Structure 1
Amino acid sequence: MSQISNSTWKSQTGYIWALIGSAVGFANVLSFSAQVYKNGGGAFLIPYFFALFLLGIPMLILEGKIGYKWKLPLITTFIKTGIPRLKVIGWLSVIACITIGAFYIVLTGYAVSYTFFAATKSIPEDTQNFFLHDFLHLTPSISDFGTISFPILFSTIVVCLSTWYVLTRRVQDGIEKICSFFMPIMVLIILIFAIVSCLLPGGINAFYYYLKPDFEKLYQPQLWRDIFGQLFFSLSLGLGIIIGYSRHTQKNTNIVKAMCLVAFGDFFVSFISGIAIFGCLSHISYVQNIPFSEIIKSDSTFEIGFILFPKILKSFGFFEPIIGTIFFFCIFIAGITGVFSIVECIVGNVEEEFRIDRKKAVGITLIILMSFSLFFCMGNGSHIIDALAPMVLGTNMLIGALGLILSFAYSKTLQVFDESIPTLLQICIKFIIPIILLVILISNLFSEITHLNFATNLRFAWLLMALIIGNICVTLTEKKRLSHKLYSN
C-alpha cells in the first residue's frame, strides 16, 4: 500500500471539517429547503431533528468506529466478520458510489458553469428557459437522449481534474487543507446570505413559512420516507464514506465527539441554508404577489438554486455578479467536497481489493466516473438522475446500513463497541435502528413494486447488475487473497 493511503489526518479538527465537507452538499444547500417547503415547514424540521438523534448520530458513530478500529475501507472490513461473501454488501455500496459520483460531478459542474455565468452576467431574464433548454438541453423524456451540453461537459472535466489534483495527495495535504479552509468560509457566507435574504422586502416572513408546522403532514408516510431519505443522503450513511474517512484517523481521535459535531454541523448548515432560501422565496412571494405555496412548481431540487435564485439576483443591480458568483461558488464548494469523499471511498476500496497504487486507483476511478458522467451531460441526463436516485440514494443506502449493523453490531468477537459508546446508543444501534430501516425498506420496495414504470424498472435493473458485478468482484478478489494471502489477520 502507498504512503498516501497510510496517511492520517493532521488533527481531529481537520478530520471533522473533512467529514462536514462530505456531509454538506446539495442535500443541505438546496434539497433540505425543498423538502421543508414540500413537507409542511416545521412538520418536517421537528421530526428531522428527532431522527438525527435517533438514527443519524448512532449510525455515524458505528461507521466511524468501524473505520477507526480496523483502518480499512468498507469492502475489506467485511473480511473481519469471517464471512468473505458478505463483501458483496460493501460492493453494492461502492457501485452505488460510482453511480452517485458519476452524476454528482456533473451536478457540481452545474455550479462551476453558473459561477461563470453569474460573474459575467450571462443569465437572461427568463431563467427557467435558460436553465432547462439553453443549459441542460432538456428532452421531454428519459428515452430521448437529445444532445450533449458542452458547458456541462467542460465543467465536469474541471471538477474531475480538480478532484484528481486533491486526491493524489496525502489526506492531510489535500482533502484536509481544502475542507479546513473553505468549509468555515462557506458556512459564514451562508449565514450572511440568511441574514441578507431576511432583510429583503417580505423576506422576514421566511420565519413564519419555515417554522410554522403543518401537523397534518405528519400522518403522511411520504413525509417520513423523505425525512430518513434526506438524513441518509445528507450524512452519507450506508455508503462506506464515513468508514473511508475514519480509517485515516489517529489513535487518540474521539470518534463519538467528532460524529456529534459532524451531525450538528450538518444540521446547522441545512437549517441556515433553509432560512436563506425561504427568505428569497418570501421575497418573491411579496414582490410578485404570489402565494408562497405556489412559488415552486416542480419537485426538482434545482429549481430553487438555478431558476428562482438567478431571478432574485436581478433585483441586486450593480451587486448582481458579485452576489451571484459568491452564491454559486458556495454551491461548488459544497459539491466538490462531497465529490472528494465519494471518490475517496471508491479509491480506497479499489486500492485494497485489487492491490494497485493510489495514484493509479485515483486515475482509473476518475476515468470510469467521467465515462459514465457523459450520460448525465445529455439532454435526458436529469431524467436518468431522477430515475436512479431513489435506488442509489435510498433503497441501496438502507441495505448498506442494515448490512453494517447486522454484520458488526451484534458480534462479541469484533468488539466494535467500547466504553466510549453509551449503553443507550448501543441499544439504539442494535435494536431500534434496524427496525426503523427495515420498515422504511419494505415500504420503499412495496411502493416501487406497486408503481411499476420505466423508471422503477431501471432502478431494479441497476440493483440486479450491481449484485451480479459485486458477486463477480468478490469471487475474483477472494481467489487473489487466498492465493497470495494479501490480508493480514
Structure 2
Amino acid sequence: MSEPKLATREVFSSRNVFILAAIGSAVGLGNIWRFPYVAYTNGGGAFVIPYLVALLTAGIPLLFFDYALGHRYRSAPPLALRRAGKKWTEALGWWQVLVCFVIGVYYAAILAWAAMYFFFSFTEAWGADPGAFLMGEFLQVAETPGVGFDFVPQVAIPMLVVWILTIGVIALGVKRGISRANVVMIPLLLVMFLILVVQAVTLPGAVDGLNAFFTPNWAALGDPAVWAAAYGQIFFSLSVGFGIMITYSSYLRRRTNLAGSGLVVGFANSGFELLAGIGVFATLGFLMQSTGQSMEDVAAGGIGLAFVAFPSIVSSTGIGPLLGVLFFASLVFAGFTSMISIVEVVVAAIQDKLGLGRLQSTLVVGLPMAAVSMLLLPTTTGLYFLDITDEFINKFGILAGAFAMVVAVAWVLRKLPLLQSHVDRVSSVRFGRVWLVLMGIVVPVVLGYILITEIITKVTTPYGGYPTGLLAGFGWGMVVLTIIGAIALAATPWKRATITHVDEDALDTKYEEIMAK
C-alpha cells in the first residue's frame, strides 16, 4: 500500500540522488584549494586527528541538525525555522538565505575564471609568468583597491554563461534540473579527479610533496588555533549552517534514512578532501623539485594555488595540457554543483514566501542575483570585492548565522529532543543522547569560540591591509546588511497560508497503527 500524500512539494526521485546532490553541494572549490593548505599549515599529518574529531563531534551532528529541520518542516530555512519556533526565528532563516545570495553573487566569478583557465590549459595561455597573467592580462586588476566599473570582457562573458546555466538548471526543478545535473557531474568529477591524482603522484618529486603534506607535527596538537582551524574547515566544507542542507533535505521523501545519508555525505566529503590533498601536494612536490624552492615557497591556498601555482606546474611538466584540463574541469564541475545549491536556497525561500511557481521564483531570484553579480565582479576592482566579501561573509555570515540558529533552536526553543526523535525515527544509525550533547554544548561552544577569535582578529588587524572604508563597505557593511535584510524580510507578510505545519511524524504513527490493525 502506498504511503499517504501530504504535500505537493517537489522531491528527489531517490535517496541516492539526494546523496549525490548533497555531495555536489559539499564538494566545492574549498575542498580542492582550501583543505590541502589548511592541513599543511596546521600540523600536516597530525591535522588528521583534530579534523576527524571535528567531523564526528560537530560536522556530522550539525549535518543531522540541518537535515532534521528541513525534512521535518518541509521547507527552506525561513519557513522551517518559523514552523519550528516563532516569528522572530524566521529572521534567522532569512539571514542564511541572504548569506547564500551574497555568496552566489561572487561565486559565479570564480566559476567563470575556472572555465576560462580550462580553455587556457590547452595552449598554456598564461605564459612564463602565471601570476602576472592572472592579475594583468586576464583580470586586469586595478592597482589601487576601490570601486570601479571598468568591465573586463573575458570575465564578463563566461560569467554570463554561468548564470544562464545556473538559472536554467534550477528553473527545471528538483527532479529534472538539480537531480540530473548532479547525477551527471558528480561521477564525472570523481573520475576526472582520480585521473588527475594518478597523474600527479607519478610526477618527479611527488614523494617529496606527499612527505611534506603527511609528515606529522605532533606539537601542533597543543595549539588551540589548530583545533579551531579543523572545526572551521569542517563547517565550511560540509555546506552546513547556511541553509543548503535544510533546503535539500526538505525535498526528501518522508520515510528517509537521514542519519545514513548524513554519514555517507560527511565521509564522502572528507574523503574527497584527502584525495585533493594528495593530488595538490604531489604536484607541488614536482614544482618544488623543478624550481629548487622549498615547500614553504611553493605552497599556497585559494586563488594563488588554483590560478598561479597550478598553471606553473602545468607549464613545467612537459606532458602537455592534460593536467591543467583535468584540474580546471574538476574546479568547474565541483563549483557548478555548489553554485546550484547556493542559489536554490534563495529560490526555495522565495517560493515558500510568495507562493510562486518554480519558473517564476527562479527568475525573481536569479535575474537580480545575476545583475548584481555582473555589475560588480567582471570589473578591474572585482577581485577586491570578492576577496573582502568572501572573508567576512564566511566568518561573520555563515559562522554567526549558524551559531545563532543552533543556540535559538537548542536553548531557546528547546527543540533538540524533537529533532533527535525525527532523525532516529527512520535511521540505520542512532546517536540518541550523544547527539543532544554535541548539538547542545559542543557545537555552540566551538562556533562561539571561533567567532569571537575571528572578531578580535579582524578588529585588531585590518584584513589584507585594505583601506578601512573598503572593509567597512564590502566587509562589515555587507554583514550588517544581511542582518537588517533578514529582519525586514521576516516582517513581510506571507502571501499564502503556508506557516501551518502538518506533523508528519504524528501522522506516520497513526498510519502505522492503522496498518497494524
Same fold (TM over 0.5): yes
What secondary structure does 1:473 align onto? helix
Query: Alpha-carbon deviations, 1:21-52, whole Å to 9, x = none?
Result: 00011101111122223333224333122211
1:190 to partner: Cα distance:
1.4
Residue of structure 2 in register with 1:457 after alignment: 472
- 1:455 deviates by 5.3
Aligned in 2, Cα 1:11/1:101: closer, same or farther, shift over 3 Å?
same
Give the letter for the 1:430 counterpart: G
CA offsets 1:205-250 (integer angstroms, 9 cap, x no match): 2221111123444455543443333222211111110011000001
Contact 2:200 2:279 (8 Å CA) reproduced = yes
SS in 2 for 1:213: coil
Matched, 1:127 2:130: yes
User: Does structure 1 conserve the Cα–Cα contact (< 8 Å) formed by 2:25 and 2:337?
Assistant: yes
Change (3 A) 1:435 1:160: same
CA–CA separation in structure 2 for the residues paired with 1:173 and 1:32: 32
Aligned-pair CA distance for 1:331: 0.7
Q: Deviations over 1:56-90 (max 9, x none)?
A: 00000110111111111100112223420221111
Between 42-51 and 215-224, the greater mean CA deviation after superposition: 215-224
Matched to 2:438, the amino acid is: C
Return 15-24 or 351-360, whichever deviates more: 351-360
- Displacement of 1:471 in angstroms is 1.5
Map residues 361-380 of structure 1 onto 2, 5 A cutoff: 361-373=361-373, 374-380=375-381
CA-based RMSD:
2.2
| More displaced stretch, 363-372 vs 252-261 | 363-372
Inter-CA distance 33–146: structure 2 relative to 1 (3 Å threshold): farther
Report the equivalent of 1:64.
67
Residue 446 of structure 1: SS of its match in structure 2? Answer: helix
Q: Check conservation: 1:25, 1:331, Cα contact below 8 A.
A: yes
TM alignment of 1:317-356, pairs within 5 A? 317=318, 319-356=319-356
Indicate whether 1:433 and 2:443 are aligned. yes
Matches within 5 A, 1:181-220: 181-220=184-223
Q: Does 1:408 align with 2:409?
A: yes
**Aligned CA distance change for structure 1 residues 258 and 413 (closer, same or farther; 3 Å):** closer
Give 1:142's match in structure 2, choosing from 121, 142, 145. 145
CA distance in 1, matches of 2:440, 2:470: 34
Question: Equivalent of 1:158, from 156, 161, 167?
Answer: 161
- SS of 1:105's partner is helix
Structure 1, unmatched stretches of 5+, are none
Aligned partner of 2:514 in structure 1 is: none
1:355-388 CA-to-partner distances (Å, cap 9, x unmatched) read 2222122112222222222312222222222212
Change (3 A) 1:38 1:412: closer
Q: Work out whether residues 71 and 247 of structure 1, in 8 Å CA contact, stay in contact via their aligned partners in 2.
A: yes
User: In 2 relative to 1, CA 455–40 (structure 1 residues): closer, same or farther, beyond 3 Å?
Assistant: farther
The answer to whether the 8 A contact 1:229-1:393 is kept is: no
Deviation at 1:145, TM superposition (A): 3.1
Residues 290 and 316 of structure 2 are in contact (CA less than 8 Å); yes or no, is this contact kept in structure 1? Answer: no
Determine the structure 2 residue equivalent to 1:42: 45
Whether the 8 Å CA contact 2:21–2:182 is kept in 1: the answer is yes
Q: What is the CA–CA distance in structure 2 between the aligned matches of 1:108 and 1:412, rounded to whole Å?
A: 38
Question: Is contact 1:101-1:343 (8 Å) kept?
Answer: yes
Distance 1:60 1:193, change over 3 A: same
**Structure 2 counterpart of 1:442, from 452, 459, 465:** 452
In 2, the alpha carbon distance for the partners of 1:361 and 1:226 equals: 37
User: Are 2:486 and 1:470 equivalent residues in the alignment?
Assistant: yes
| Structure 1: distance between partners of 2:89 and 2:291 | 56
Which sits farther off after the overlay, 219-228 or 354-363? 219-228
Q: CA deviation at 1:389?
A: 2.1
User: Could you give the per-residue CA deviations for residues 107-150 of structure 1, whole angstroms, max 9, x where no partner exists?
Assistant: 11111111122234433222111111111112234315373221
Deviations 1:256-277 (A, max 9, x none): 0111111111111111111111
- Amino acid paired to 1:435: V
- Given that 2:416 and 2:436 are in contact with CA atoms closer than 8 Å, whether structure 1 keeps it comes out as no
TM-score, scaled to structure 1: 0.92
Moved more, 448-457 or 272-281: 448-457
Contact between 1:108 and 1:156, CA under 8 Å: does it hold in 2? yes
* Native 8 Å contact 2:25 2:341 kept in 1: yes
Contact 1:241 1:342 (8 Å CA) reproduced: yes
- Give CA-to-partner distance per residue, 1:323-344, whole Å, 9 cap, x none: 4223211110000000000011
- Taking a change above 3 Å as real, the CA distance of residues 288 and 448 of structure 1, as seen in their structure-2 partners, is closer
Secondary structure at the aligned position of 1:415 is classed as helix
Equivalent residue number for residue 504 of structure 2: none
Give the TM-score normalised by the residue count of structure 2. 0.87
1:164 is aligned with what amino acid?
I
Q: Which amino acid aligns with 2:481?
A: M
Residues 7 and 171, structure 1, Cα contact 8 Å, conserved in 2: yes
Q: Which moved more, 1:361-370 or 1:451-460?
A: 451-460
Q: Which 10-residue stretch deviates more, 107-116 or 339-348?
A: 107-116
Partners of 1:363 and 1:7 lie apart in 2 by: 18
SS at match of 2:320: helix
CA distance in 1, matches of 2:147, 2:400: 32
Q: Which amino acid aligns with 2:484?
A: I
CA contact under 8 A between 2:185 and 2:337: conserved in structure 1? Answer: no
Q: 1:395 to 1:223 in 2, by over 3 A?
A: farther
Matched-pair contact (CA < 8 Å) for 2:409–2:416: no
Q: Verify: 1:256 aligned to 2:259, yes or no.
A: yes
Residues 412 and 382 (structure 1 numbering): CA distance in 2 closer, same or farther, change over 3 Å? closer
The match for 1:306 is 307
**Could you tell me whether the CA contact under 8 Å between 1:56 and 1:263 is conserved in 2?**
yes
Query: Does the 8 A contact of 1:203 with 1:282 survive in 2?
Result: yes
Q: Is the 8 A contact 1:408 1:416 kept in 2?
A: no
For the 8 Å contact 2:81–2:90, the answer to whether it is kept is: yes
Amino acid at match of 1:256: A
The percentage of counterpart residues that share the same residue type is 25
Question: Equivalent residue of 1:166, what SS?
Answer: helix
The answer to whether the Cα contact below 8 Å between 1:167 and 1:344 also exists between their aligned partners in 2 is yes
Letter in 2 for 1:87: E
Q: Take 1:386 and 1:37, find their aligned partners in 2: how far apart are those partners?
A: 22
Deviations 1:266-320 (A, max 9, x none): 1111111111110110001111111111114x6x511111112112222454x52
In structure 2, distance between residues paired with 1:366 and 1:485: 25
Which amino acid letter does the alignment assign opposite residue 443 of structure 2? I
Corresponding residue number in structure 2 for 1:359:
359
User: What SS does the corresponding residue of 2:34 show, helix, strand or coil?
Assistant: helix
Partner Cα separation in structure 2 for residue 167 and residue 52 of structure 1: 30
Query: One-letter code of the match for 2:344?
Result: E
CA distance in 2, matches of 1:407, 1:461: 24
Aligned match for 1:272, one of 275, 280, 287: 275
Contact between 1:137 and 1:147, CA under 8 Å: does it hold in 2?
Answer: no
Residue 21 of structure 2: aligned partner: 18
